[in-house]
Amino acid sequence: MDRKLRDFVGAKTAKTFSDVLGIETVGELLRHYPRRYLKKGELTPFDELEVGDQATVSGRVKKVTVRSLDSKQEIRPDEVNKYRRHKTITKVVVTDGRNDLELAFFNQPWLANKLTAGTAALFWGEVTMFRDIMQLKGPGTEILDEEDLSEEEIERRAKPFRPLYPASAKLPTATIERSIKIVLDNLDELDDPIPELIRKKEKLIGLREALQKVHLPETEKDWEVAQKRFRFEEALVMQTILAQRRAVTDALKAVPRPRAEGGLLDDFDARLPFKLTEGQAEVGEEIFADLARPHPMHRLLQGEVGSGKTVVALRAMLSVVDAGGQAVLLAPTEVLATQHHKTLTKMLGELAEQGMLGGAERATRVGLLTGSLNAASRRTAMLDAASGSAGIVVGTHALLEDKVQFADLSLVVVDEQHRFGVEQRAALSQKSGDATPHVLVMTATPIPRTVAMTVFGDLAVSTLTELPAGRSPIKSSVVPAKERPAWLERAWERVREEVQKGHQAYVVCPRIGDEVKNAADEEGEFAAGAEDEAGAKGKPRPAISVIQVAEVLEQVLGDLRVEILHGRLPADEKDSVMSRFAAGEIDVLIATTVIEVGVDVPNASTMVVMDADRFGISQLHQLRGRVGRGKVPGLCLLVTDSWPASASRGRLDAVASTTDGFELSRIDLENRREGDVLGVAQSGRRTSLKLLSVLRDEEIILTARHVANSLISVDPELTDYPVLRSFVRSALESEATDYLEKT
Ligand code: ADP
Ligand code: MG
């Protein structure tokens, strides 16, 4: 498998493979699977053709004529390129030596220069009758070189299933096909990474047979059984990596932090103004059990927006502080870090006022460390972290800087992990000396089981399924601003009514709009000249911005207290806006997605999302979670210019139709590409998963996981499975598995 391709196909072709597809070895070529299969008809002699058949014929071109359908004039071959955009018909007469057959191609005049008289080719398509002449209408064509004209080669090429490869002009599918055939014919031994016993048990075909069937199938069934086998192989390699990693993690040392009676946690529980939900209590116990072990916790806490993850995290942090350690809470944005800091401080009350007048007898401190602190506050925060006087430190990635030291960091809580890179998490792990800290990752974007098993293979998962009692439902509607301009006016009226009832509202926009005004911006008048989804005229207009909406609301809601919030405001201003909104001193907050996660203002009842189609499903769900957090029923209006039948409108309708985050997450994932799901798409890396889908192939992944676990438990180094071991090694070497690396 590691043998060089150039030993098989010649230097020139090998170089093209290397240049175009990065393929160097035989193994890489054989794993360049067909993108799909072309279905041809059966190879049929001319005199056996029947109208209605799907057939393939082999013949030589006798005559070609191109005619303009407008002028009915015949077009000379040297003129055809001028007629590329005209309506034309190209008629080709082919012969098998005895009989003739007519082919008709519409609007492809250039074919006249390819299918010149004497050219041999395969044609396939439906046999029709036109004015008493038998034709193939708009057939597929494959020109045959003179050396391809052996009966055997024609038979092969005319096969009902022909592979189509991810190819390019420089490396056409026929070259790939030919090279694969050469390799398959000349390669003798092939080592199968799937151990034979497992292959038997799972009824999977062997490697050689599978390669034959995936590249040169005779029937549909062939490539189905082949693909099944390769999917399992990919899943097995991946799950073996994860099983090994779990074994390593299980062997890591952490300082056990068993829950202590009579500490801060008990004091906190005693002063909690509400009763924990059953789920919160249960997950709490799971976490305490993890923390008591001498191995690091790796737990994912997933729960619907508003399900009360923060309390769960805080209780975990307090229990660690009680046991003499420190905890860190990492947030994806500064706004959110600041919010968390306030929330924690407030929830803890005097328990967070250690050493202060009025502080409780047993108390700690909650530090805040973000990028935009002034030098003095920063120094204090860093000192508190380093001395250990801050039992809890909240912050953004500024916390990851080398300079930040901790006295005894033992728990890292990561909020909204999907915003955090794996590298950053790894950096934090390095801050706790010899022992590895316990890690709790929180997310409001539920992850399907298989994805959790793939991307977060070594994380245990806890789920909060219920919302705290007394939550009000959120009503959501789509507001088609273009079809129904009056509805948008009505939306602003609803905002006014809510404010009159004493509530507050968010208006969310995709863009800030404070860029230097340019031509596009001038054109981009509010809600004018909207984008045409079907991809028609003109440039799409820029998304509606915070600044534009502020101007509009100045007119419409001028008497209310309207303010703006976005990422480019100075930190203290952001802070001040956020605190005034939380204090009820602002009625309407026009903002970008800085408010997406975690912001908690229970009095906010209404959210209007402008150009809602520009947001993703889970993002909208997150945003919507900002309202309906208190006793006040929530209202979410999704304003859009997208067309009723468009895909983006479909997404909005889905969001409006349910508040079930798991359901939305499923819809969302189905609409995304696999790479996005695994988080590798942005980096543009090739993934080692070629045929396996972490969404669809749940069963295969579960089986492979089970198999991998048992293999690793008896043979952690895979000594008895050298082929699998070498597959695992090369998967690890390829950058593509970076996403597995540090989770
Ligand atoms: P999320 O899971 O989205 O982070 P939060 O932790 O921010 O949710 O909780 C949302 C709101 O619900 C907060 O105001 C929190 O104080 C409140 N809350 C949490 N747990 C309960 C509970 N058991 N009963 C009542 N309210 C709760
Ligand atoms: Mg939260």
Cα–Cα dist 713/247, whole Å? 8
Q: For ligand 1, is residue 277 a contact (CB within 6 Å)? A: yes
State how far the alpha carbon of 549 is from the alpha carbons of 406, 561, 563, 619, in Å: 45, 14, 11, 20
Residue 618 phi/psi, 5-degree rounding, is -70, -30
Render 214-241 in DSSP notation, one character per residue: HHS-SSHHHHHHHHHHHHHHHHHHHHHH
Q: Which ligand has the minimum distance to the alpha carbon of residue 344?
A: 1
**Angstrom distance (rounded) from CA 86 to CA 120:** 27
Q: Look at residues 280, 286, 320, 289 and name the one whose alpha carbon lies nearest to residue 411.
A: 320
**pLDDT score recorded for residue 597:** 60
Q: Which residues, 6+ apart, have CB-to-CB distance to 46 below 8 Å?
A: 57, 59, 95, 96, 98, 99, 100, 101
pLDDT for position 194: 97
State which of 304, 307, 345 you would mutate to test the pocket of ligand 1, scoring each by most atoms of that ligand within 8 A of its C-beta: 307
Non-local (6+) Cβ contacts of 530 within 8 A are 482, 540, 541, 641
Q: Where are the alpha helices (DSSP H) in 60-127?
A: 111-114
Q: What pLDDT score was predicted for residue 201?
A: 96
- Backbone φ, ψ for residue 606 (5° rounding): -130, 140
CA of 330 to the centre of ligand 2 (A): 11
CA of 468 to the centre of ligand 1 (A): 7
Cβ–Cβ under 8 Å, residues 321 and 408: no
b/e sequence 507-533, b meaning 16+ C-beta within 10 Å: bbbbbbbeeeeeeebeebeebeebbeb
Domains of the chain: 1-40+161-188 (no CATH), 44-158 (2.40.50.140), 264-464 (3.40.50.300), 474-658 (3.40.50.300)
CA-nearest of 510, 542, 530, 540 to 616 is: 510
Taking the C-alpha atoms of residue 648 and residue 532, their distance in angstroms, rounded to an integer, is 11
> Is 503:495 a contact under the CB 8 Å cutoff?
no
Distances (CA, A) of 333 to 330, 574, 610: 9, 12, 22
Residue type, 427: A
Taking the centre of ligand 2 as the mean of its atom positions, its distance from the CA of residue 261, in whole angstroms, is 27
Over the chain (743 residues), the average pLDDT of each successive run of 10 is 86 92 90 83 84 86 92 87 87 91 90 91 88 85 84 78 79 86 88 95 96 90 93 92 82 89 94 93 96 90 86 97 94 85 92 78 90 88 93 87 86 73 59 78 75 67 81 88 89 96 96 65 36 44 92 93 92 89 95 76 94 90 85 92 85 89 76 53 50 81 93 94 91 57 38
> DSSP H helical segments within 501-545, as ranges?
519-523
Considering every ligand atom shown, identify the ligand nearest to the alpha carbon of residue 310 and give its number: 1
Q: Is the dihedral of CA 208, 209, 210, 212 positive or negative?
A: positive
The answer to whether the beta carbons of residues 157 and 188 sit under 8 Å apart is: no
Does the C-beta of 743 come closer than 6 Å to ligand 1?
no
**Could you tell me where the beta strands, DSSP code E, fall in 42-188?**
42-43, 54-68, 74-75, 88-95, 100-106, 120-130, 133-137, 140-144, 161-164
Å from CA of 655 to ligand 2 middle: 20
User: Whose Cα sits closest to atom 14 in ligand 1?
Assistant: 600
Q: What is the pLDDT of residue 551?
A: 94
Question: What is the pLDDT at residue 449?
Answer: 66
- Measured between alpha carbons, how far is residue 303 from residues 300, 438, 464 in Å? 10, 20, 5
DSSP 8-state assignment for residue 715: -
Cα–chain center distance at 522: 34
Distance CA(1)–CA(28), nearest Å, equals: 8
Nearest alpha-carbon partner for 563 in 599, 590, 596: 590
